[in-house]
Amino acid sequence: MSVRREYPTAPIPSAHAIILRGDTVLLVRRAHPPSQGRWSVPGGGIELGETISQAAEREVREECGIQIRAGPIIDVADNIVRDRSGRVQFHYVVIYVQGRYVGGEACSASDAADAGWARYEELEGLDMHPAARQAIRRAYAMRHGKVES
């Protein structure tokens, strides 16, 4: 990605996929700031000329070796991190999409320090950005025909 990630001049759009398989969700542990060390769903910056779906599919493949088909948007959230002086150090507009598992074995690659499948019940005990946790909850609610606001 050629856009400056740290201290950007504009928000950076990113696509992240929530892949549910049985009673598990695919998670990655971020290897780089701003969420280094935290668990999240795989995804990253949208490249010029790339659709949201294409970006989500590429990022999942690059980060954890899983092939998916991107589906509808589940949620959109801001991730704004300010430095000690109050300047915007990172600013992402995170687009969460539903991802349908196609194949592959979860492994950490690219920007992921770790990758694997976690049971829904395990999510509360993981260090995770609240927006990612909320998007996963929404995906589970949608799967079970419940409306979540």
Give the pLDDT score at 108: 85
Please state the rounded mean pLDDT for residues 56-62. 96
Average pLDDT, the chain: 92
Please state the rounded mean pLDDT for residues 94-101. 97
Asked if 47 and 1 touch (Cβ cutoff 8 Å), the reply is: yes
Claim: this prediction has a pTM higher than 0.75: yes
What distance in Å separates the CA atoms of residue 45 and residue 6, rounded to the nearest whole number? Answer: 13
Q: Give the pLDDT band of residue 77 (cuts 50, 70, 90).
A: very high
Inform me whether the pLDDT recorded for 72 exceeds 90. Answer: yes
- At position 88, the amino acid (one-letter code) is V
Q: How many percent of the chain have pLDDT more than 70?
A: 97
Domain 12-141 has CATH 3.90.226.10: no
Inform me whether the pLDDT recorded for 149 exceeds 60. Answer: no
Inform me whether the pLDDT recorded for 1 exceeds 50. Answer: no
